Amino acid sequence: MDDQIRVEKLSFSYDVKKVLEQINMEINKGSFFCIIGPNGSGKSTLLKVISAALKPQKGVVYVEGIDISHIKNRSVAKLISFVPQNTSLEFDFKVSDIVLMGRYPYINKFIGEKQEDLELAEKAMQYTNTLFLKDRSFMELSGGERQRVILAQALTQNTEILILDEPVSHLDLQHQMEILNLIKKMCVDKKLTAITVLHDLNLASAYSDYIVMMRNGEIKKRGTPFETLTASGIKEIFDTDVYVSVSPVGNKPYVYALARPDVEKKGIRVHIICGGGSGSEIIGRLYSEGFDLSSGVLAIGDLDWKVSKENNVQIAEEIPFAGISDEAYAKNKELAEGADVIVLTGLYFGKSNKRNLELLLEKSLEQKPLFILDNESFAERDYTGGSALQLYDSIKGRDNSMLIESKRLSEEILKVVGAHE
C-alpha cells in the first residue's frame, strides 16, 4: 500500500467535549498535506493524535503499518518529527546544541553524541542555511531563523514524517515563503511527508498536494486545492463568503477575502458576455457588490468559466473550440432575456464565439440596456477577418447600448435600472 499514514475511525475527546469524530484519512509518502479549518475545529488535536502526543479514545493511527499508540516515545521520535508554531527558550542555548537534540532518539546515554551525529547535525544546518548561526544563542535569533533551526533539528531527527502546527503563522511574508519553500523542498528532495496546519488559504493552495478541510472535529471536504478551495467549500467550512479565482502564478486557486460588510443582494441580474479572462475582474467585483450574475457562452475550462463556477454564476457553457451550438446559444439567450442589463466585455472574437455578438442583435433583447466595455480595442480583438467588427458596429448603433469605462459599470447599472423602475 502506498499510504504512509492511515487514520482509521479516530475519535478524541477532552473529558466530555468531543474534539475529533470519526476521522478517516490516508496520507501518501512525500506529499505536502495540509489541514485547514476554523479555530477550534480540531486541527491541532488531530496533529497531536497523529504524532502520538495524545491517545485517542477510539480509532487507530498507523504509521508505515505500525499502530503508533503501542510504541515508545523514542521509536515514535524516529518516525515523526514535530515543528511547533514557535519555540522560545528561557535559557540560553547555542544553535548547534538545539540542532543536536534531534539525535536524542538514536543516542546511547552512556556514550553520548558520536562523530556521525555531529556530522548529521552539520549537514542539516547546511541544508536549512543555518550553519552560519551555529555558535549563536538561539534566543537572539529572529522568528524565521528560529524556525529554520527547528527544521534543522527535525532533519537531524532523520524521520520520514514532519508534522507542523502553523509553522509560519507568526512570520512576515518573506519568512513565510522561506520556510514553506524549505518544507516543500524537503518533501521533494528527501521524500519527506509534511503534514501541516496553515491558516493562510492561499499559502495552503500554493504549496499543498492535498488538503483536508475540518469543521467541528470532522473532515468536511478533502482533495486537491482545486477540489477543496472553492467558494462553496470555504463557505461551508469558514462560514465566510469569498471569491475564488485562479492564481496566474502557478495555476492554483486563489482565494480573495471579500471586504464587504453585510452587503444585501440588490436583486439585479446582470448577464455578462465574456471569455478568456476578460470578465473575471468584473464578475468578482459585481458579485462582491451584491449583483446576481449570469454569463455565457463560455467554453468549459476557460478562465471566466472557472471564475463563474467559483462564484455561483449561472453559465451558458459549451465544449471548448467547438463553436457555439444552437443549444448553448438558446441557453445564453434565455439567461440574457432574464437579466436586467447585459454587459459586453473586452473579449477576443474568433469563428467559434462570433455568435455571442449575434445574440445581442436578437429582437427579444432590443430593449435590454447593454453596456459595452473596452470600445477602442475592438479591432485588435477581432480574429474573424472583419465580420465581427461589422456586427459590433451595428450593436453599438442599436438602442440602449452605452459605451462606458469598466470602473463606472456598477454605478451606471444602478442608474439605468433605477430609471426603468
Partner 1 sequence: MNKIVKSNWPALAFLIVLLLAALLLAVGTGAVKISAPEIIGILAKGDDSVNASIIIDIRLPRVLLAAVAGAGLAAVGGVMQAIFKNPLVDSYTLGMSSGAAIGAVISIITGLNVSILGIETTGVFAFLGAVLTLFFVYGLAYTRSRISINSLLLAGVAVSYFLASVISFLMMLNHEKIDHIVFWTMGSFSMATWNEFGISSIIILPSLAVLFFYTRELNMLVMGEDAARHLGVNTAALKNILLITSALIVGGVVSTGGTIAFLGLVAPHIIRLVIGSDNKRVIPYSALLGSILLVLSDTVGRILIQPAEIPVGVMTSIMGGPFFIFLLRRQKGK
- Quick check: 170 binds partner 1 (CB under 8 A)? no
Q: Which residues, other chains included, contact 165 with Cβ-Cβ below 8 Å and sequence gap of 6+?
A: 44, 47, 82, 83, 84, 85, 196, 197
- For the segment 176-235, give every residue that binds partner 1 (CB under 8 A): none
- Quick check: 78 binds partner 1 (CB under 8 A)? yes
For residue 280, which of 252, 255, 311, 239 has the smallest C-alpha distance?
311
| The binder of partner 1 chosen from 40, 57, 89, 188 (CB under 8 A) | 89
Distance from C-alpha of 335 to C-alpha of 315, rounded to nearest angstrom: 8
Q: How many CA atoms lie within 13 A of 50 on its CB side?
A: 32
* Residue at 134: amino acid letter: K
In whole angstroms, how close is the CB of 171 to partner 1 at the nearest point?
18
In whole angstroms, how close is the CB of 201 to partner 1 at the nearest point?
26
- Quick check: 169 binds partner 1 (CB under 8 A)? no
Q: How many helices (H) does the chain have, and how many strands (E)?
A: 15, 18
In this structure, the dihedral spanned by the alpha carbons of residues 356, 359, 365 and 367, taken in order and rounded to 10 degrees, is 70
| The binder of partner 1 chosen from 1, 2, 15, 248 (CB under 8 A) | 15
| The binder of partner 1 chosen from 29, 38, 53, 334 (CB under 8 A) | 53
Cell of 200: 493562510
- For the segment 90-109, give every residue that binds partner 1 (CB under 8 A): 90-94, 97-98, 100-102, 104-105, 107, 109
Cis status, amide bond into 297, omega within 30 of 0: yes
Cell of 97: 546544541
Applying CB under 8 A, which part among 73-81, 185-193, 374-382, 386-394 lies near partner 1?
A: 73-81
In whole angstroms, how close is the CB of 29 to partner 1 at the nearest point?
20
- Quick check: 77 binds partner 1 (CB under 8 A)? yes
In whole angstroms, how close is the CB of 122 to partner 1 at the nearest point?
11
Instruction: List 7's β-bridge partners, or say none.
Output: 25, 61
Nearer to partner 1, 51 or 278 (CB): 51
| The binder of partner 1 chosen from 4, 41, 45, 81 (CB under 8 A) | 81
Q: For residue 206, how many other CB atoms are within 10 A of its CB?
A: 19
Torsions phi, psi for 132 (to 5 deg): -70, -15
Residues that bind partner 1 (CB under 8 A): 14-15, 51, 53, 72-74, 76-78, 80-82, 84, 87, 89-94, 97-98, 100-102, 104-105, 107, 109, 113, 118, 153, 157
